[in-house]
Chain A
């Protein structure tokens, strides 16, 4: 079910990645980056100067499918190794972990890096804690975080992609920090474009529209906690409004909350990553608080360090680490209320 909810995001990822790639190559004068992806696209006979929808889909698939395939295979191999070693049944969650991990990757990510990141996600994000449901961090998030730390230049500085427009949520914040709203105009970013997802960025995280559709499925089937999502939205709006109102606000601090919502991975992270029940608070009050903390942290990291690619991954990791503490406080209040009631 969780996998089904990512379908809108996956479709958006394929369409937008293909579209951005073709635009990028077209702007570069029809001259692609001459890597294996480029050769694959050319071999399908796609007319870069005048692409049709099928071309966009093919170009998108060329970027999304290999990353997902490699991530899934890597995860599966590690799962098999641990299942054999522990003599347990194979776990079922590798599909979703690989999917979320893929959607958090930039389009031009190296497949070697994917193997590394997914290995880290599966082994250190999941199996060292005993496997599915026993993790204290979302494994896909752990993988994405280690990728961001280990290969930050490779992830954000691919010559083709950054040469054209920059990743939304990476260069977008840096540009805005330097040039204000003109920075967006210069990059060709507008709000509706960012909402629909028509901007460069991590493969799965650009389209807030697709995230809303997938989120609706998750909420209707009650898989995701609406309290966690609502808390993040509130925390983000609260913190963005707060820093907007601060005296001497400059740079990203003046960015309004509705921009924070559509840029970078905030929406995707809020709906698909932060709602992993195993790594979030286990009380209703705790879910509100954890969500609020995560949303506020996203804005704080973006404001404090506009050069940082996004802030979402770090914020969600921190919020997950805080979850047991938040639960502890919620339990303490419940116990105290009981004691007072019992007299």
Chain B
């Protein structure tokens, strides 16, 4: 509605420019310095069950057993070809389950021997070959499909494939810097990934980023300008390739996962590291770090934080998870660690709570439809009607208003500004679960 995509043939590929007007860039501390610290080592890493929606896991390697990096540890019970691989070599030391025996995490304690599984790469891989390579190496699990935000069906066919080479979350690392650092592997990865589908492949990025990509008619560049949520796949899908209800899917994958695919194609091993930012008001030295996948966050933030009570979050403040207990590990798709001072426990009087800062403290209230919601809503979405539909669980209305293009993270700004203190993410997930039952 607000943004008119215009296409022009600037380079050899089609370029789309989208200007996102609505949104909000939270200012919560110094940006991370663009220097990658490669000295960090961790004692353990973990696979988190919460990173994958509605997957029933079979545990292939139980507690106490040895694993090499890249060795399958978990398997999707309903799609056994989808495996989840160990992020580093060592011993499986804990398989933690939460409510209703849902898998919380599988912890691998590092032995620092660096043994890893090598996969043979065929010389000229076709579509099926690349898909199999990604499945074997565990990289398939970095793909996500909308609607519903789940790991795509290995035999499925998307309407479009999006590479998310932009990150607008507060304090996120600059993708342009990291892609430049790993330019060769990114180009290799992109070239491999485009083979998994015949559908158009969009590289979603900030304007001016020169993506190292072999010219191909299949590859298109989509430039997104504006504040957060300009970097979320939900925003990209709304703008580029809306999803209907006739089982069409859009797949998306992060830029670091593309680098990992390139690494796999070059060396036969996926990239077991990720570059993440460590930043936030409670961080002494905000910077980028190269750390193992699923790295133990307690190890990463040791002696990096200011004193006092600090909340450490894997991912952005808007959509990450608090690193605590069994899930104190880096999330699979998280590129940042945020540390905030915990709100002081000073008790306010009822007068202050109910009158002065109803937006922050106080008790849950009603949704009051001021214009604030429109100012941060995903493009083309009517926020108040959608949130109301979610509140009452009206799946049909929510679908009509665009719920299928969204996942939890797309509503995080709306949850942030809403004075009712409702977290709309779980409500959306509930509606999506209901909708998926209809599709089956």
Contact yes or no, B242 A342, CB < 8 A: yes
Q: CA separation between A155 and B10, bound complex, in Å?
A: 71
Q: CA separation between A95 and B102, bound complex, in Å?
A: 49
Q: Main SS of chain B's interface residues?
A: loop
Contact yes or no, B385 A282, CB < 8 A: yes
Which of B261-269, B276-284, B366-374 lines the interface with chain A?
A: B366-374
List residues 234-278 of chain A with CB under 8 A from any CB of chain B.
Answer: 277-278
Q: CA separation between A91 and B401, bound complex, in Å?
A: 32
With A90-B354, A277-B370, A278-B366 as contacts: A342 and B244 at CB distance below 8 Å:
yes
Contact yes or no, B401 A335, CB < 8 A: yes
On chain A, the residues within 8 Å of B384 by CB distance are 282-283
Query: Does chain A have a CB within 8 A of B363?
Result: yes
Shortest CB distance B399–A (Å): 10
Q: CA separation between A133 and B369, bound complex, in Å?
A: 9
With A222-B372, A225-B370, A225-B371 as contacts: A92 and B242 at CB distance below 8 Å:
no
List residues 382-430 of chain B with CB under 8 A from any CB of chain A.
Answer: 382, 384-385, 388, 400-402
On chain B, the residues within 8 Å of A134 by CB distance are 366
Q: Main SS of chain A's interface residues?
A: loop
Query: Does chain B have a CB within 8 A of A331?
Result: yes
Shortest CB distance A75–B (Å): 14
Contact yes or no, B366 A335, CB < 8 A: no
Query: Does chain B have a CB within 8 A of A55?
Result: no
Contact yes or no, B371 A338, CB < 8 A: no
Query: Does chain B have a CB within 8 A of A223?
Result: yes
Query: Does chain B have a CB within 8 A of A132?
Result: yes
Q: CA separation between A327 and B365, bound complex, in Å?
A: 22
Contact yes or no, A133 B368, CB < 8 A: yes
Residue among B242, B372, B382 with most chain A CB within 10 A: B382
Query: Does chain B have a CB within 8 A of A334?
Result: yes
Tell me how many residue pairs across A and B have CB atoms closer than 8 Å: 68
Query: Does chain B have a CB within 8 A of A341?
Result: yes
Among B363, B371, B402, which residue has its beta carbon within 8 angstroms of that of A222? B371
Shortest CB distance B298–A (Å): 38
Q: CA separation between A89 and B353, bound complex, in Å?
A: 10
Contact yes or no, B400 A338, CB < 8 A: yes
Residue among B244, B350, B370, B388 with most chain A CB within 10 A: B370
Chain B: CB-nearest residue to A275 = B370
Q: CA separation between A277 and B420, bound complex, in Å?
A: 14
On chain A, the residues within 8 Å of B382 by CB distance are 283, 330-331, 334
Query: Does chain A have a CB within 8 A of B358?
Result: yes
On chain A, the residues within 8 Å of B355 by CB distance are 92
Query: Does chain A have a CB within 8 A of B245?
Result: yes
Shortest CB distance B431–A (Å): 16
Among B242, B244, B350, which residue has its beta carbon within 8 angstroms of that of A89? B350
Shortest CB distance B405–A (Å): 9
Contact yes or no, A283 B385, CB < 8 A: yes
On chain B, the residues within 8 Å of A130 by CB distance are 366
Shortest CB distance B356–A (Å): 9
Contact yes or no, A132 B366, CB < 8 A: yes
Among B354, B358, B367, B400, which residue has its beta carbon within 8 angstroms of that of A335? B400
Query: Does chain A have a CB within 8 A of B243?
Result: yes
Among B245, B371, B374, which residue has its beta carbon within 8 angstroms of that of A342? B245
16 further contact pairs, Cβ within 8 A, besides A89-B363, A277-B368: A89-B362, A131-B366, A277-B369, A277-B370, A277-B371, A278-B368, A283-B385, A284-B371, A334-B385, A334-B401, A335-B400, A338-B242, A338-B401, A341-B242, A342-B242, A342-B244
Interchain Cβ contacts under 8 Å between A and B, 5 examples:
A277-B370, A277-B371, A281-B369, A282-B384, A343-B244
In the A-B complex, list the 7 residue pairs whose CB atoms are closest, starting with the nearest. Answer: A133-B366, A342-B244, A282-B369, A282-B384, A335-B400, A277-B370, A92-B355
